[in-house]
Amino acid sequence: MPGIRLVKVTKRYGDVTAIRNLSLEIGDGEYVCVLGPTGSGKTTLLKLIAGIVKPDSGEIYIDGRLVNNVPPQERNVAYVPQYYALFPHISVIDNVAFGPLSRGVSREEAYKVSMQMLEMTRLAWRANSFPHELSGGMQQRLALARGLASGAKILLLDEPLGALDARLRVELRYKLREMAKENNLTTIHVTHDQEEAMIVADRIIVLRNGEIQQEGPPSQIYNEPKNIFVAHFVGGANFFEGFVAETDQNGSWIQLRNGFVLRINEVFGSVGERVVVMVREEKATIIRGAKKREGINLLPGTIEWVSFLGDFVSYSIILDNGDRVNSKMPTIIGVGRFRVGERVYVHLRPEDLRIYPYPPHGLYKELEVI
Ligand SMILES: Nc1ncnc2c1ncn2[C@@H]1O[C@H](COP(=O)(O)OP(=O)(O)O)[C@@H](O)[C@H]1O
Ligand SMILES: [Mg+2]
């Protein structure tokens, strides 16, 4: 039995449809990340499950029970809002213990659990402080500790690591998942950070305009994005505009601008159809050499720029047809390898290329949403 099930749920605020005819199932004990840009409906989705807002249509089930008319406190759900409200006049540990105590857990047990949660979120040393004495990041961790201590089996986290500094964010995301799994919690973790989602999630649900674009394990979302939006949102991607020039049994030839041609391993569309081809930045490899080369998907160009990203370097190449390509490689092999102005070839393996229909409102419109 799935932990959470939504069937054709729609939620409107006036003219805005925040969630549109959305169906999903989340298994017992699953750790799901909902990933999407601002305004895509992530918070509304959590509020619908928590019972803070009601759907205009559709059904919401928790543990098989229809909960459309069940109040939040009876849903066995811990909702940690993005903008949490702490109790200002009681100490940190009392804030955490409030949930278990109000559920009737013994004092001893409630404080023991609360202390564990404070240790996990690295706040044990501030147990006797008041919320206003904590930094923003600490307050967020306190909200998290409080949600965790509530004892609910379903955890709804709205951008739980958003206010933390980078180092702590990285450290805590592993802890979050570990803790959820240890306690067999069903977790929905909302984020707009694709890296965070890839690292913690069993499954990622990509949301846009209140609709699911794609759901699946992180590797699938990354390697086989179903559309341009997902490709762009979940990692570095290069896009080329073109037309289908020819198709055969094993794939297609795509005509790019100014006479460049790409081979892809997908039989796609009909000849003359306008398309977009995508390749991940780390799949675009650079081959040195000014002398003329012949071969499939070898595109001549010039190194335009190199960015140092710490563990990676990214080369920006302007192809001779005017298209631009970014090629990302580990610093250890890439640093200093090519110089700005150097003539090179970009090599794209047919199996690494994805193809999409040209978006109705244009490629740039499609990419600017984020
Ligand atoms: N209380 C509200 N009243 C009116 N519009 C709202 C309200 N809450 C959210 N919205 C709108 O609904 C859409 C989805 O919002 P939200 O669920 O907060 O998205 P996200 O969390 O992904 O940023 C947005 O267009 C937002 O402006
Ligand atoms: Mg939000």
CB of 153 shorter than 6 A to ligand 1 = no
Residue 40, ligand 1, Cβ within 6 A: yes
Average pLDDT over residues 22-36: 96
- The residue that leads in pLDDT, 69 or 170, is 69
**Shortest-distance Cα residue to atom 2 of ligand 1:** 13
How remote is the CA of residue 322 from the centroid of ligand 2, in Å? 39
> Mean pLDDT over all residues of the chain?
93
Q: In terms of CATH, what superfamily is 4-228?
A: P-loop containing nucleotide triphosphate hydrolases (3.40.50.300)
Atom from ligand 1 closest to the CA of residue 210: 14
Structure confidence by residue, pLDDT tens digits, 193-243 = 999 999 999 999 999 999 999 999 999 999 999 999 999 999 999 999 999
Q: Is the pLDDT of residue 192 over 70?
A: yes
Pocket test for ligand 1, best of 10, 13, 34, 46 (most atoms within 8 A of CB): 13
Residue 44 CB–ligand 1 contact under 6 Å = yes
Confidence band for 94, pLDDT divided at 50, 70 and 90? very high
What CATH architecture applies to the domain 236-368?
A: Beta Barrel (2.40)
pLDDT over 70 (residue 2) = no
Using the predicted structure, report yes or no on whether residue 1 has a pLDDT greater than 70. Answer: no
Q: Report pLDDT digits (tens) over 31-59.
A: 999 999 999 999 999 999 999 999 999 99
Residue pLDDT, tens place only, 109-167: 999 999 999 998 889 999 999 999 998 778 888 988 998 888 888 999 999 888 778 88
Whether residue 255 is predicted with pLDDT greater than 60 in this model: the reply is: yes
pLDDT at 292: 76
Cα(148)–Cα(151) distance, integer angstroms: 7
> Does ligand 1 come within 6 angstroms of the Cβ of 15?
no
Ligand 2 centroid to residue 223 C-alpha, Å: 26
Closest C-alpha to ligand 1, atom 24? 39
42 lines ligand 1 (CB under 6 A): yes
> For position 257, what pLDDT does the model report?
94
Q: Quick: pLDDT tens for 274-323.
A: 999 999 999 999 998 767 777 899 999 999 999 999 999 999 999 999 99
- 369 pLDDT above the threshold of 80: no
More confident residue, 260 or 169: 260
In this structure, the residue with its CA closest to atom 27 of ligand 1 is: 39
Q: 39: Cβ below 6 Å to ligand 1?
A: yes
The pTM score is 0.90
Which of 3-12, 139-148, 356-365 is the least confident region?
139-148
Is 154 close to ligand 1, i.e. is its CB under 6 Å away?
no
**pLDDT at res. 137:** 78
Whether 191 is in the pocket of ligand 1, judged by its Cβ within 6 Å, is: no
* pLDDT given at position 290: 66
| Cα 13 to ligand 1 centre (Å) | 8
Query: Is it the case that residue 84 has pLDDT exceeding 80?
Result: no
Domain segments of the chain as ranges: 4-228, 236-368
For helices 92-102 and 107-120, the axis angle rounded to 10 degrees is 130
